[in-house]
């Protein structure tokens, strides 16, 4: 997957999973490691993308609006790839149309699905999403009252188990796709 000593072949490492699954933490670790070796790596995170694109999550943040947002993320990745970048993106985007579009249109596409039990996600709850849902302050929470589509055949599926840290997951991803 390496072009030369300083750049990776343009492509996408798409990290997905439910809220609290570790997407952001893992993507930051991967970015930090890869950026030390390669100059064409970019990191995109769903929370930052939504803020920069001024996408509101209040009101109707349901299944179809999430699909549109996911496809926007895919288009952004394509622009980066077309300009020679390797993109690490950490977003939920759990919609079959997004998965299909990515596999068809993003060259050197590698998706990682972080499968973490809902019980563990509720325990972690870094953004208090599950807590707010329980208190009926929000709705449309993927994995609870909102359906989501797991990737059918992800390049790598990480099934959470006790003791599996973000560093260990990151090392597994790097070993699987970069051999560095």
Domains within the chain, CATH numbers bracketed: 11-175 (3.40.50.300)
**Whole-prediction pTM:** 0.89
**Is the model more confident about 2 or about 177?**
177
Backbone angles phi, psi at 177, to 5 degrees: -115, -20
Q: Which residues pair with 90 in a beta bridge?
A: 15, 45
Mean pLDDT for 147-170 is: 93
pLDDT of residue 1: 47
pLDDT in tens, 13-35: 999 999 999 999 999 999 999 99
What are the angstrom distances between the C-alpha of 166 and each of 6, 25, 150, 160?
26, 7, 20, 10
Whether the predicted pLDDT of 56 surpasses 80:
no
**Residue (of 31, 24, 16, 174) closest to 103 by Cα position:** 16
Whether the predicted pLDDT of 77 surpasses 70:
yes
Percent composition of the chain: helix, strand, coil (DSSP 3-state, to 5): 45, 20, 40
Whether the predicted pLDDT of 89 surpasses 70:
yes
């Amino acid at each position: 997957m390496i072009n030369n000593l300083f750049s990776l072949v343009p492509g996408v490492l798409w990290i997905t999973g439910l809220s609290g699954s570790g997407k952001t933490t893992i993507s930051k670790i991967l970015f930090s490691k890869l950026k030390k070796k390669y100059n064409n790596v970019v990191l995109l995170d769903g929370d930052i993308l939504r803020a920069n694109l001024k996408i509101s999550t209040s009101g109707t943040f349901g299944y179809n609006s999430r699909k549109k947002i996911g496809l926007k993320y895919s288009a952004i990745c394509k622009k980066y790839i077309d300009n020679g970048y390797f993109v690490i993106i950490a977003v939920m985007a759990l919609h079959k149309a997004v998965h299909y579009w990515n596999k068809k249109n993003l060259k050197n596409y590698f998706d990682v699905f972080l499968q973490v039990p809902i019980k563990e996600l509720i325990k972690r709850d870094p953004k208090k999403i599950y807590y707010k849902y329980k208190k009926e302050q929000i709705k449309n929470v993927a994995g609870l009252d909102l359906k989501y589509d797991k990737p059918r055949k992800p390049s790598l599926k990480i099934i959470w188990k006790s003791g599996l840290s973000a560093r260990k997951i990151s090392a597994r991803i790097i070993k699987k796709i970069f051999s560095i």
